[in-house]
Amino acid sequence: MENNDNIDATLNHLFRQESGKMVAVLIKIFGTENIEIAEDVVQDALVSALETWKFRGMPDNPKAWLYRVARNRAIDIIRRKKHSKTIDFSDPKKQLLTSEYTLKTTMEDFWEENQVQDDFLGMMYSCCHPDISQENQITFILKVLCGFSTKEVAKSFLTSEDTISKRLYRTKEYFRKHKIRPEIPSQSAINQRTSSVLSAIYLMFNEGYNSTHTNQLIRKDLIRQAILLCQSLLSSEQTQLPEVYALMALMCFHSARLDSRVTAEGSIILLSAQDRSKWDHELIHSGQDYLNKASFGSTLTTYHLEAAIAYQHCCAECYENTNWNKILEYYNVLLNIADDPIVFLNKCLVILELQGPKEALLALEGIKKNKLLEKYYLYHATLGEIHLRLSNHSLSLAHYDKAIRLTQSKSEKRFLKDKISSYK
């Protein structure tokens, strides 16, 4: 039985790591109009691995085994469908798949390691096409490139499987209609296109990082996948851009603190109260490396600044030693690049630390009546805190109440309620 558990674990791991690459190659072979065929082949390979390994034990190289089964399955499908209109063989390279003289060798070429990596990245860029909504981008990436089941994607988004299926369908339709060919964009377009890939990755990361989820497994899975995707961008020379390193650094700094943010019971622990010895210092160290690499060239993105801010928190030995002046400086530069009310709100929190509640309240006047913020729980939680410190208890209570109503997260609700009950 232990052996079977081992097989399950290896397969799970392998599937998360490799299924996206396999699907990407198969989509290149069968075309974006046949994404289902590509997904089926990978699914079949997985099922047959599970059945075979349980009887005969795990092969020496499970990854190679899985790839070989997928390759053979693809050959079967091509033999069966070479005269049907399902697959477009007009491309010279694919034309060779229709002859037995060249089918096997051509198939081998498609699975060559560098090729696989390029196809995976190409697929990532195609998924993040600006015409596809960000929600649909991430849904598609999780399902097709990260090996999530529809059920798992639904859990990630706290929505129904039905909704996810609809999103997937729409994206597949888009691919079909526009005959999208997955490829890494040309040098001239790469910066702009990478920015949408990065925002999808960051959104995926935040989906896992923010505490909307009670399910720890799903959260960690999302974080891991976001980091894996970013890593695969960094493994290819074409996409080793400063902003990619910056996002990688940022995600390292954030995830280094992941386990200290909640108690075993799932309650939130504020930064000031976190046990800093629990932070993952190896991860912080990698983050520093990435941040150094991010500083070549003249590109300065929001990721650079957010990473720099996160680093300031990571390198402070205790909360009291936090270099708030430096952080405030970074926030000011950040706001110059992206005039974002939520960033501004965060800056006000720094002002609260540095200059006290009066100044923070004054700064917040600057974004009063912002529609987005009015609906943002953290805005009201901040005002609740400021008024509490100013001893305006009734105002504080009103804002905290609103914050509780606005957040979806149970642990945040609980945190805010505890806060109120301490002075009510």
Partner 1 sequence: MKEFLLIIRGGHDESEHRSPEEMQKHMQHWQRWMSGLAEEGKFVGGQPLKSEGKTIVEGGSRVIDRPLAEGKELVGGYLLIHADSLEDATNISKDCPGFEYNCSVEVREISPM
Sites of contact with partner 1 (CB under 8 A): 92-93, 95-96, 98-102, 104-106, 109
Spatial distance between the Cα atoms of 256 and 45, rounded to a whole number of angstroms: 35
SS (H, E, C) 30-97: HCHHHHHHHHHHHHHHHHHHHHHHHHHCCCCCHHHHHHHHHHHHHHHHHHHHCCCCCCCCCCHHHHHH
Here the tokens at position 420 are 């109120």
Q: How far is the CB of 229 from partner 1 (least distance, A)?
A: 33
Q: How far is the CB of 192 from partner 1 (least distance, A)?
A: 32
**Which are the contacts of 129, defined by CB distance < 8 A and separation ≥ 6?**
137, 174, 180, 196
Residue 268's DSSP bridge partners are 262
Q: How far is the CB of 99 from partner 1 (least distance, A)?
A: 5
Nearer to partner 1, 100 or 113 (CB): 100
Q: How far is the CB of 92 from partner 1 (least distance, A)?
A: 4
Cβ atoms 330, 352 nearer than 8 A: no
Nearer to partner 1, 74 or 251 (CB): 74
Nearer to partner 1, 55 or 101 (CB): 101
Q: How far is the CB of 108 from partner 1 (least distance, A)?
A: 9
Nearer to partner 1, 93 or 281 (CB): 93
Max Cα distance, the chain (Å)? 84
Q: How far is the CB of 101 from partner 1 (least distance, A)?
A: 5
Question: Which amino acid is present at 86?
Answer: T
Cβ atoms 138, 128 nearer than 8 A: no
Nearer to partner 1, 71 or 193 (CB): 71
Question: Which amino acid is present at 308?
Answer: A
Q: Which of 279, 129, 278, 105 is nearest to 192 (CA)?
A: 129
Nearer to partner 1, 92 or 297 (CB): 92
Spatial distance between the Cα atoms of 292 and 395, rounded to a whole number of angstroms: 45
In whole angstroms, how far apart are CA 44 and each of 73, 74, 265, 294, 406?
A: 8, 11, 39, 41, 44
Q: How far is the CB of 112 from partner 1 (least distance, A)?
A: 13
